[in-house]
Amino acid sequence: MSTALQRRLDVASTIVEEAGRKAMALRPEPGAAATAKLKGRQDWLTEADGAVEAFISDALAKAFPEDGFQGEETGRGRTGALRWVVDPIDGTSNYARGADRWCVSLGLIEERTPLLGVIFAPALHETFTARHGAGAFRNGLPIHASTERDLTRAIVEVGWSPRRPLARFHRLLQGVMAQGAAVRLGGSGALGLVDVAVGRSDAYVELHINLWDVAAALAILGEAGAWVSPFLEGHGPEAGNPILAAAPGVAGALAEAAELAGWGA
């Protein structure tokens, strides 16, 4: 299995690199947001989303016709024992405004186990990769979650989307800040999660996030030694779930704060 998985990781990395270059070439100029389309409230759709997803889907179908495929824009296109899950542009709200904090995210899962993750942020010149049991890497160098144990020194990203009531988001924010953590909101769930894997932040928490936003990051976080809530349990793969990913030393206290704020309700 490890040779077959390594081959998939190598091929996936090449595909994601090419996809990222295509997305970069299509990125709107700053100030173009007024003409960008919305799928729903604060849910952006750009020309690149469809084009990049189609490119990745076709390339994977050629390389691994036996594998399943699920994309943010086109849904569950093919089924197989292994499932590739792509978010063609994560951080679309940033991308649509010509900003840099966005990425192409491609994960591979088997049932409820994350096997591979590739995240490429072209404008930031960063690539994150991981294979189950073989470590996590940023631009080819090993990465690890932070060793922080004290929430009064911690940085925590609290992700937001309009999919959950604002009052619950406020409760979560209040719960995290009451523990003394400094908060961030960067607009890309995938990049917020790999920030935890590389130790640039100590946790990422969000009331609801979808599989395509986290599929790649789950493999990377696990290999980097971060603590991650059981996202793939229950209806997570189909309907999304809350997520908390944290440095092990602050995970317990944060899980408590998030629980008190009703994050998993």
> b/e for 148-177, b at 16 or more Cβ within 10 A?
beebeebbbbbbbbeebeeeebebbbebbe
Report if residue 91 touches ligand IPD, rule: CB under 6 A.
Answer: yes
Report if residue 202 touches ligand IPD, rule: CB under 6 A.
Answer: no
Nearer CB in complex with ligand IPD: 73/223? 73
Which range in 11-19, 56-64, 75-83, 90-98 contacts ligand IPD by CB under 6 A? 90-98
Report if residue 117 touches ligand IPD, rule: CB under 6 A.
Answer: no
Beta bridge partners of 245: 204, 228
- CA torsion angle 205 116 215 124 (round to 10): 70
CB–CB of 169/207 below 8 Å?
yes
**DSSP E strands, 91-191:** 103-110, 113-121, 126-131, 136-138, 141-142, 155-159, 182-184
CA angle 41, 87, 207 (to 5 degrees): 55
Min. distance of Cβ 187 from ligand IPD in angstroms?
5
Which range in 59-67, 109-117, 159-167, 221-229 contacts ligand IPD by CB under 6 A? 159-167
Nearer CB in complex with ligand IPD: 5/254? 254
The residues in 173-192 that bind ligand IPD, with binding defined as CB under 6 A, are 187-189
Min. distance of Cβ 73 from ligand IPD in angstroms?
10
Report if residue 157 touches ligand IPD, rule: CB under 6 A.
Answer: no
Q: Which residues bind ligand IPD (CB under 6 A)?
A: 87, 90-92, 159-161, 187-189, 206, 209, 213
